[in-house]
């Protein structure tokens, strides 16, 4: 039975958390700097104020931190264990009969809690901020005239800019995709010029998007100062296509962890594939296990370094290489999962599971050796 020492647990956990927070601040600062430089480059010809670009970089930061969090845990763990080794505290612990598992257990628990906090709290907040960042990116940096799209439990929303400052906003209560045709029902279209000049409202029982036009049926057209007009059918030209609409669906990173299941159900009910969002949801579920596995990887390379041998730098380099190898492996499995070559659960959980098993096996080897 594994015996846990409360005082020792608090001490090593405090050392790990201090190293983790220090590493997090440094990496967050670097991410913010590079994102700001990239935004300045992209917005060089748009005249966007620098304060707006700084705000955009800050809005994107929580989402980027979630991406690099496994590396933060890896580097923070290596720093913490190196400090304990440099002061010979790890040597004293081992000489006193304390196994690696006894002082790693509280760190693993703390890391799992960090992962749970990241998934349940940081991710929802980061998703909202990232969605705001995407809207500002389109408005101030990309200045995309093709419009935006939102698919949620409230239906399908489309916005498309036309010539002469004309803007059309379309809402459909129900959406279904059949091959290369998009079928909609309960359709409302609002046409405006500028922001305040309302042109007309169109209500249709159903509509189809095909060949870059909306074919509306059972239509009522209402314009200010004119009587309502009923038409059996009418067409509205558009630059939108099925492919472009699918590209503009909300990215998984902009949807909260708590909202993803409902989003996936609605996505599938609308006839679209929610494969990417389902894979992302499973990846979030696996992230606490992945963070714990990164602690084991850090321990394998720094838990028992012989500083006099001059191989410390090689161990640190080995840990960094292992981290990048894991990153490459996770990207490969993610791509295989998106292409449905691998099952979703296997693609999402295998990086965490493989890293955890390799870390456990390596530590058992070190302990027995």
Q: How far apart are CA 21 and CA 288, in angstroms?
A: 17
pTM exceeding the 0.85 threshold for the entire prediction: no
Residues 6+ apart with CB under 8 A from 367: 99, 100, 101
Nearest to 76 by CA among 19, 28, 26, 30: 19
Kindly report, residue by residue over 231-288, the tens digit of the pLDDT.
999 998 887 777 666 655 667 888 889 988 887 886 676 556 778 889 999 999 999 9
Quick check: 338 and 251 in contact, CB under 8 A?
A: no
Kindly report, residue by residue over 288-333, the tens digit of the pLDDT.
999 999 999 998 888 765 555 556 677 778 888 888 888 889 989 9
Quick check: 169 and 159 in contact, CB under 8 A?
A: yes
Least confidently predicted of 161-165, 196-200, 201-205: 161-165
Query: What angle is formed at CA 256 by the lines to CA 251 and CA 261, rounded to 5 degrees?
Result: 90
- Percentage of residues of the chain with pLDDT beyond 90: 41
Burial class (CB in 10 A: 0-12, 13-18, 19+), 283: buried
Kindly report, residue by residue over 92-126, the tens digit of the pLDDT.
877 777 778 888 899 999 999 999 999 999 999 99
Quick check: 4 and 102 in contact, CB under 8 A?
A: yes
């Amino acid at each position: 039975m594994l015996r846990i020492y409360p005082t020792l647990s608090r001490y090593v956990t405090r050392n790990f958390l201090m190293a983790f927070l220090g590493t997090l601040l440094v990496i967050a600062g670097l991410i913010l700097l590079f994102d700001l430089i990239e935004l300045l480059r992209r917005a060089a010809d748009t005249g966007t104020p620098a304060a707006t670009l700084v705000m955009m970089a800050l809005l994107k930061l929580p989402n980027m931190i979630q991406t690099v969090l496994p590396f933060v845990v890896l580097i923070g763990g290596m720093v913490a264990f190196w400090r304990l080794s440099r002061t010979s505290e790890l040597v004293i612990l081992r000489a006193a009969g304390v196994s690696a598992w006894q002082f790693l257990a509280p760190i693993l628990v703390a890391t799992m809690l960090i992962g749970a906090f990241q998934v349940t709290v940081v991710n929802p907040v980061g998703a909202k901020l990232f969605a705001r960042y995407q809207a500002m990116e389109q408005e101030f940096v990309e200045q995309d005239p093709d419009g935006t799209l939102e698919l949620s439990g409230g239906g399908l929303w489309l916005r498309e800019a036309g010539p002469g400052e004309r803007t059309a906003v379309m809402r459909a209560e129900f959406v279904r995709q059949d091959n290369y045709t998009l079928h909609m029902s309960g359709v409302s279209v609002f046409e405006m010029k500028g922001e305040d000049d309302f042109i007309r409202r169109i209500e249709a029982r159903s509509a189809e998007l095909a060949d870059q036009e909306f074919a509306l049926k059972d239509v009522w057209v209402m314009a200010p100062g004119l009587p309502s007009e009923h038409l059996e059918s009418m067409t509205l030209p558009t630059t939108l296509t099925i492919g472009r609409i699918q590209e503009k669906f909300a990215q998984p990173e902009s949807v909260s962890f708590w909202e993803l299941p409902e989003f996936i159900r609605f996505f599938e009910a609308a006839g679209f594939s929610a494969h990417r969002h389902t894979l992302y949801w499973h990846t979030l579920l696996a992230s606490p296990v992945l963070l714990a596995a990164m602690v084991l990887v850090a321990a394998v390379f720094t838990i028992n370094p012989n500083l006099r041998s001059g191989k410390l730098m090689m161990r640190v380099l080995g840990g960094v290489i292992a981290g990048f190898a894991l990153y490459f492996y996770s990207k490969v499995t993610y791509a295989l999962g998106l292409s449905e070559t691998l099952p979703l659960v296997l693609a999402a959980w295998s990086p965490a599971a493989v890293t955890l098993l390799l870390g456990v096996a390596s530590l058992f080897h070190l302990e027995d050796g």
